[in-house]
Chains A and B, each alone.
Chain A
Amino acid sequence: MNRATLDLWVGFFVAIGLAALLFLALKVGNLASSNVGETYQLQAEFDNIGGLKIRAPVKSAGVVVGRVSDIRFDPESYRAVVTMKMDARYKFPRDTILTINTSGILGEQYVGVEVGGDTAMLKDGDMVKKTQSAVVLEKLISQFMFNKAQDDSKK
């Protein structure tokens, strides 16, 4: 086989190999959507974060506005400290409430942003004061059972 045909085939091979990588990066992976634009950091303390994971989305009105970048345990307050990287395009009022929600019954957990009415906005490094913990299903069920038992004993 002569040199030119060989080069053509190898060039073709390398080209489709790179195309496959590009396909994986853009179509399968999230390289296109998770572009690192300007971000600012927010922190919040939760009593219980349930199954929240690092890189979980932060959503407001269902739109992803940031991602969880760090989760750690504060040994003094015995609460979970969640650090989030928020998209700099979106600002939120100071009295915003953060909740931990679940998408669907078996879906992943995310941080929900319930926008408040304050005129002052949250800045980089701020701590969000108002938070609502994840709903722990076992607690909910035991509460329900307990109330049920109380109701029954009253009758």
Chain B
Amino acid sequence: MRDDFFSGGLRGLGRRVTDRVWRLGFASRFLLAILMYSGMALRRFGLTIREIYFTGVLSLIIILVSGLFVGMVLGLQGYDTLQRYGSSEALGILVALSLVRELGPVVAALLFASRAGSAITAEIGLMKATEQLSAMEMMAVDPIARVVAPRFWAGVISMPMLAALFSALGVFGGYLVGVQLIGVDEGSFWSQMQASVDFREDIVNGVIKSAVFGVIISWIAVFEGYDCEPTAEGVSGATTRTVVTSSLAILAADFILTALMFRGA
């Protein structure tokens, strides 16, 4: 009896581990398949443009508004701390660097995962549940090329744009609060910012980060949708998994990328 209990638990653990590894392997093979079949997504670019509309353009409002508010909060908090050391002119540096390096790519990616990633998963999952994907296969249309690849590329293209918009609006928000509301000197706000934000080191690295996040989110979202159980519960579970997994993956990847990029000169 005891033996059964232990070996049963052990077997369950083993099955769960092999299940995870199996899914990871399937996901990698799936990514490879997307890349191989993305010819159609690029040739018939209209398909991808349609998806950019749904993932990118419709995420604009949430990205712009949150960027503005995050920048305004940074302006208030940064000023509160910096003025203790009598260096409130450095507010521009603080706002710009924290947005361009970290908050822009990461927060935009988290918002994008919950706004667009979940929608992609739900859409593909529902297509699978209603057997639209099988119907396509019957008509000799590859669902990976027709449905999955355009959504994947749309996410990869939209994400850097959204992150750049987030950062730009955030800097503007910091400017509104810092300069217009509190009264930090406008000249030193911008000039100190320009003196310490480097194009190659900070801005390009931020764009690279957001592009990597775009790949991660789109990959997880299309995979969860394609792999979900074709039931109502399966689709809802897959949508939840998309948001949770991609949020965790974004934060972990952010740490790795930051460690590689900013090791401190």
> Are A30 and B197 in touch, CB under 8 angstroms?
yes
Contacts of B168 in A (CB 8 A): 20, 23-24, 28
> Are A10 and B164 in touch, CB under 8 angstroms?
no
Interface of chain B: mostly helix, strand, loop or mixed: helix
Return A111 CB to nearest CB of chain B, in Å: 15
Q: CA separation between A17 and B52, bound complex, in Å?
A: 13
Return A105 CB to nearest CB of chain B, in Å: 8
* Interface residues of B, count at CB 8 A: 33
Q: Which residue of B lies closest to A9 (CB)?
A: B57
Contacts of B199 in A (CB 8 A): 25, 29-31, 34
> Are B198 and A21 in touch, CB under 8 angstroms?
no
Is residue A7 contacting chain B, with contact meaning CB distance below 8 A?
A: yes
Residues of B within 8 A of A (CB): 46, 49-50, 52-53, 56-57, 60, 85, 87, 96, 100, 158, 160-162, 164-165, 167-169, 171, 190, 193-195, 197-199, 202-203, 207, 265
Cβ contacts A to B, 27 pairs, < 8 Å = A3-B46, A10-B53, A10-B56, A13-B56, A13-B161, A14-B52, A17-B165, A24-B164, A24-B167, A24-B168, A24-B203, A25-B203, A27-B190, A28-B100, A28-B194, A28-B197, A28-B203, A29-B198, A29-B202, A29-B203, A30-B198, A31-B199, A34-B198, A53-B265, A54-B265, A55-B198, A106-B85
